[in-house]
């Protein structure tokens, strides 16, 4: 067993305890996919926490050895990463909450309270098992397409594990997209991993994905087109200003409402060509899901959910962007700038930038 192998097993365990505590209060993440005018795809997601994640960008090369977590201190599923990837971690740990690999496969963890039902550890082969927080790392390191993930999930088990000091099993579901534009959602229900094709490329949180699809039927009259005036009893009733086609779109931050808004915005924007124009377009869409600190409060306690960071992944160019609560400037990480066969993992902190630069005017 190599030193690198031992190192990654240790950080898997350390990150688990952190993510379990941090995501206990996180219920407001939103993700979506936008098609470009030249048939590319750009992904965006927000990450909400009621606990300071202190994320850094992590870039992992090919060939790293991983061992996942199984029950009772046993070794879980082991793999060697096939692809280099970039993503967001927590507390310097290479556990992906969100990330993209060199083939354009992008995915993330989303909170799924009240519905996640993992395989009981006693019913799973340890050599096929992993903890809920390890699933995205496993997928992004190993697969190029969502079809490959769909085929592989039959041979793995995500087991319900509670870490010391956490007090509960973290409830997650997962979203993945690939360079062809295919999207899937994977949800642990009934002790198994249920895979849904995702024609809209959107995911939020609970309830289950199929429930969200059914809920779309409540909004079939929504449209980006303004509504004509209405004639009633010989009188003309005009609408107020612009946006009358979206009248009735839910504006609250609950998962069902965010799901509807994410579909509405991502499916109706005028597409831009692949590259920075599409990145900016997705950034504008994601701004609609930004949650300022204090606007969502728990019934008890003082840990308020807020948008700690937002990522945008340009799948066509292999460029991953991130901005944070205190630094609203997108910062780019291009996988092509890193050696995919490097021997070490690279980290980059995202510096806060609460002070904004002044415009430069000509001097007198």
The reported pLDDT for the residue numbered 278 is 98
Domain boundaries, the chain: 3-208+272-349
Q: Of how many residues is the chain composed? A: 364
Fold of domain 3-208+272-349: Penicillin V Acylase; Chain A (3.60.60)
Among residues 12, 24, 29, 333, which one is catalytic?
A: 29
The reported pLDDT for the residue numbered 25 is 47
Q: Measure the CA–CA gap between 195 and 139, rounded to whole angstroms.
A: 14
pLDDT in tens, 11-43: 343 444 434 444 444 468 999 999 999 999 999
Per DSSP bridges, beta strands 157-158 and 129-130 are parallel
- Our answer to whether residue 29 is catalytic in this structure is yes
Question: Taking a C-beta distance cutoff of 8 angstroms, is the pair 251, 257 a contact?
Answer: yes
Q: Which of 354, 294, 363 is nearest to 329 (CA)?
A: 354
Q: Measure the CA–CA gap between 107 and 153, rounded to whole angstroms.
A: 15
The reported pLDDT for the residue numbered 357 is 76
Q: Which of 184, 153, 157 is nearest to 33 (CA)?
A: 184
Please identify which residue in the block is written with the tokens 């793995």: 156
Q: How far is CA 282 from CA 32, 140, 189, 268, in A?
A: 9, 22, 31, 12
> CB under 8 Å to 263, separation ≥6 — which residues?
32, 200, 202, 216
The reported pLDDT for the residue numbered 7 is 37
Question: Taking a C-beta distance cutoff of 8 angstroms, is the pair 283, 44 a contact?
Answer: yes
Stretches where the chain sits below pLDDT 70 are 1-27, 91-94, 163-166, 354
* pTM for the full predicted model: 0.90
Q: Measure the CA–CA gap between 90 and 55, rounded to whole angstroms.
A: 4
Residues forming a β-bridge with 331: 322
């Amino acid at each position: 067993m190599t030193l690198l192998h031992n190192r990654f097993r240790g950080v898997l365990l350390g990150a688990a305890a952190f993510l379990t505590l941090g995501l206990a209060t996180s219920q407001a993440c939103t993700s979506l996919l936008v098609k470009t005018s030249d048939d590319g795809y750009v992904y965006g997601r927000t990450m909400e926490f009621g606990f300071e994640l202190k994320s850094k960008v992590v870039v992992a090369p090919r060939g790293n050895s991983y061992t996942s977590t199984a029950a009772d201190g046993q070794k879980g599923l082991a793999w060697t990463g096939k692809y280099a990837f970039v993503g967001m971690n927590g507390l310097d740990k290479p556990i992906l909450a969100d990330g993209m690999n060199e083939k354009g496969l992008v995915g993330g963890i989303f909170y799924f309270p009240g519905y996640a039902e993992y395989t009981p550890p006693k019913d799973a082969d340890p050599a096929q098992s992993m903890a809920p927080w390890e699933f995205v790392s496993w997928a992004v390191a190993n697969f190029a397409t969502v079809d490959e993930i769909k085929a592989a999930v039959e041979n793995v088990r995500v087991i319900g594990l509670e870490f010391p000091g956490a007090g509960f099993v973290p409830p997650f579901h997962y979203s993945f997209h690939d360079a062809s534009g295919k999207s899937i959602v994977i949800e642990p229900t009934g002790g198994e991993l249920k895979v849904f094709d995702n024609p809209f490329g959107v995911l939020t949180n609970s309830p289950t994905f199929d429930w969200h699809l059914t809920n779309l039927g409540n909004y079939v009259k929504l449209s980006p087109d303004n509504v004509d005036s209405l004639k009633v009893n010989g009188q003309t009733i005009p609408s107020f200003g612009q946006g009358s086609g979206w009248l009735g779109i839910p504006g609250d931050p609950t998962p069902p409402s965010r799901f509807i808004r994410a579909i509405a915005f991502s499916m109706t924007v005028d597409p831009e060509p692949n590259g920075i124009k599409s990145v900016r377009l997705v950034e504008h869409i994601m701004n609609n899901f930004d949650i300022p600190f204090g606007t969502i409060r728990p019934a008890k306690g003082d840990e308020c959910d807020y948008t700690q960071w937002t990522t945008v992944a340009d799948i066509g160019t292999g460029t991953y962007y991130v901005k944070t609560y205190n630094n609203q400037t997108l910062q780019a990480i291009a996988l092509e700038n890193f050696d995919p066969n490097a021997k070490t993992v690279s980290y980059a902190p995202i510096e806060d930038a609460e002070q904004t630069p002044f415009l430069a005017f000509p001097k007198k």
